[in-house]
Structure 1
Amino acid sequence: MNHQKYIILDRDGVINIDSPSYIKSAEEWNAIPNSLEAIKKLTEHEYHIIIISNQSGLGRGIIPYSDFIQINLKMLSQISKAGGSILSILYCPSLPTDKCFNRKPAPGMFNEIARRLNISLEECYSIGDSPRDMDASLLSKCKPLGLRTGNGRLIENDSNYNIPMFNDLADAVEYVIKNDINN
């Protein structure tokens, strides 16, 4: 079993400002304040960061794949310039009606990461801003952390979720580092 440190992040609403009409171009991608610095801090503390994201805008034909690639390249460039590093990005282009096992709230992308990296997800934090993120995290046995950015109010106002909530990624990262017994 791989004993390195891993953390799973959602993209929209966690790293960047989300939009109800999708992030359709690199120009529309804007980092949430302090998120890039938070990723840098995770990198400095030797976490391997994985981004897992539903991207139904692809499946709906709203976002061309070439634009999706440019969005991610902009994100990776800004993360790198801030001193952070991303190990992998997984995404699911399926629509909610497709009932795809990879689309959150299903745990398929989480399970794929566990298989590829030979890791136990029970040792991983997963940070998200929506009930879908929390459900996928719980189903895959990750340690979920919720953010008030993006759609976080939906988590915080739902009594089904008894998980730590944070104002933003920077606050959640402070919690992760403080509670990591390996640091």
Structure 2
Amino acid sequence: MPIIILERDGVINDNSDPCVRSATEWHPLPGSIEALAALSHAGYQLVIATNQSGLALGQFDLDDLEAIHSKMRTLVEDAGGEVAAIFYCPHGPKDNCRCRKPQAGLLDAIEAEFDTSLHDCYLVGNKLADLQLALEKGCQPVLVQSGEGVLTLQQLVENPDPRLAETKVFKDLKQFSQFVLA
């Protein structure tokens, strides 16, 4: 089954400031749960790849993160879909780790776990780091304008990167899912 890689915050759920710290603060964006369920039902394996520096910064703990992910998974399952896996970087921005996007460590781990190449799979994000990661691993970069997506699109217009010229841009995850399923 083909894999779709997705950022969590700002793509699937609202991204509160400075971060989502608990399951009660985690709120899906309109249409995102249904979009995930539809993609899953169509045979796509949905894998979340997300930076969660709030762990390193002490803004929440591992139990909080697991509760957030449990809530998300339950909502997707209740809608008839499944999240195949969730990979996260627990490090802070200054830790210089290999798993913090735009570094490729999370995608390397996904390839190892699923024993596959992610080349040409969709990578859906709302930040420049997501798009840069897609390029590094040969994925198809997809920008959604939710979360920080509008700001990212503005950055791309003001400072065009020819490597990102073919990036597909959608209003939100729901519109992306409609494109994939059409």
TM-score (norm 1): 0.92
Supply the AA of the counterpart residue of 1:79. Answer: V
2:54 matched to 1:50? Answer: no
Residue of structure 2 equivalent to 1:173: 177
Q: Which runs of 5+ in 1 are unaligned?
A: 179-183
Q: Secondary structure at the match of 1:126?
A: strand
Supply the AA of the counterpart residue of 2:98. Answer: F
- Residue correspondence of structure 1 range 53-132 to structure 2 within 5 A: 53-132=50-129
Supply the AA of the counterpart residue of 1:173. Answer: S
Supply the AA of the counterpart residue of 1:29. Answer: W
Asked if the contact 1:107–1:139 (Cα under 8 Å) also holds between the matched residues in 2, the reply is yes
How far the C-alpha of 1:123 sits from its partner, in A, is 3.0
Deviation string 1:47-87 (CA, Å, 9 cap, x unpaired) is 01100100000011111111111111111111111111011
Residue of structure 1 equivalent to 2:168: 164
Q: For residues 42 and 115 of structure 2, what CA distance do their matches in structure 1 show?
A: 21
Residue of structure 1 equivalent to 2:16: 19
RMSD: 1.1
Supply the AA of the counterpart residue of 2:107. Answer: F
Q: For residues 178 and 63 of structure 2, what CA distance do their matches in structure 1 show?
A: 35
Q: For residues 147 and 170 of structure 1, what CA distance do their matches in structure 2 show?
A: 9
Q: For residues 9 and 150 of structure 1, what CA distance do their matches in structure 2 show?
A: 13
Q: For residues 42 and 180 of structure 2, what CA distance do their matches in structure 1 show?
A: 10
Q: How many residues align?
A: 175
How far the C-alpha of 1:177 sits from its partner, in A, is 2.6
Identity of counterpart residues, as a percentage? 35
Moved over 4 A (4+): none
2:39 matched to 1:35? Answer: no
Deviation string 1:154-181 (CA, Å, 9 cap, x unpaired) is 3212122321110000111122233xxx
2:10 matched to 1:10? Answer: no
Q: For residues 65 and 37 of structure 2, what CA distance do their matches in structure 1 show?
A: 23
How far the C-alpha of 1:111 sits from its partner, in A, is 1.4
